[in-house]
Structure 1
Amino acid sequence: MAPSFTWPARVYWEDTDAGGVVFYANYLKFFERARTEWVRAAGGEQQRMRLESGLIFVVSETTVRYLAPARLDDELTITVEPIELGRATLTLHQRALRGEQVLAEGTIRVGCVNAHDFKPARIPASLLAALQRP
């Protein structure tokens, strides 16, 4: 399995709630951006995949545990660690860290589908192979 991918993020005003901490749903945005950058780092571009093959990725399941709050201006590291890379689905473990402290972690399941009818489709072989490389 491929090693963990990391992506840096900073907490901005727009990420926080009235209590001055990151709004819980925004961790999913951080996770989404890190997944996009993970695919990009492997040589995949989701927009090109959609245009050339009519395929897109959709999130089908998430579970997230919130352990400690992130606050305005915090520098975070968001990780993507593949658990299972199937022919049509990806199961990933993701974490948001401040230094060594885990703030939130979750399992995200992503499926590849046809953009027109949302029927499951195989992930392009070249992308799947690239995602599996160390």
Structure 2
Amino acid sequence: MPLADPLPAPASGRFIAAVHHFPLRIYFEDTDLSGLVYHANYLRYMERARSDMLRVAGIDQRANHEGGEGVYAVTDLKLAYRRPARLDDDLMVVSQVMEVRAASCAIQQRVMRGEDILTDGVITVAYLTPRGRPQRQPRPWIEIFSRLMRGEDIHP
């Protein structure tokens, strides 16, 4: 018997004025004994949001990896924890491309609860060969990042 309503899909973000917005909710497993989100989980949220941002932008990391062409790896990370998140909070990870180079890019990410910035960071990723050496990013990817950095919306 067919369902009247389609099944829900996994959370996905979207671009608004060239800035990626990724929604998430805090669950019990995200918290520590104090009832606050464990500090390392903010990095997980940012990672999910960056992966989603690339997917929504039309960058197929999986195909590139499986084709033996290369992968991204975090090379630098600067974080500031400002306020804690708690059980059942609805959060938004906001990601914006800040810098694009031949083999890397820097993305500013903020974990937000409404207008409040909970965690603010800049994550730099390098594009690596399968053997772990830096290499130029695919030209179409550089073009996507450059358009986002200039504030241009993308439509993959």
TM-score, scaled to structure 1: 0.93
Q: What displacement does 1:99 show?
A: 0.5
What stretches of structure 1 of length at least 5 have no aligned partner?
Answer: none
Q: What displacement does 1:53 show?
A: 4.3
1:44 aligns with 2:59: yes
Looking at structure 1, the residues matched to 18 and 57 of structure 2 have their Cα atoms a distance apart, in angstroms, of 12
Over the matched positions of the two proteins, sequence identity in percent amounts to 35
Post-superposition Cα deviations, 1:43-74, rounded to whole Å, max 9, x if no partner, equal: 11211111124200000111110110001111
Q: What displacement does 1:121 show?
A: 1.0
Aligned to 1:118: 132
Post-superposition Cα deviations, 1:61-99, rounded to whole Å, max 9, x if no partner, equal: 111101100011111000111110111101111100000
Q: CA RMSD in A?
A: 1.3
| Aligned residue pairs, count | 132
Please give the residue correspondences for 1:29-40 in structure 2 after superposition, counting only pairs within 5 Å: 29-40=44-55
Aligned to 2:142: 128
Aligned to 1:59: 74
Deviates more, 1:89-98 or 1:44-53: 44-53
User: Larger Rg: 1 or 2?
Assistant: 2
Q: Which has the higher contact order (CA 8 A, sep 6+)?
A: 1
Please give the residue correspondences for 1:92-107 in structure 2 after superposition, counting only pairs within 5 Å: 92-107=107-122
Aligned to 1:28: 43
The answer to which structure has the higher strand fraction is 1
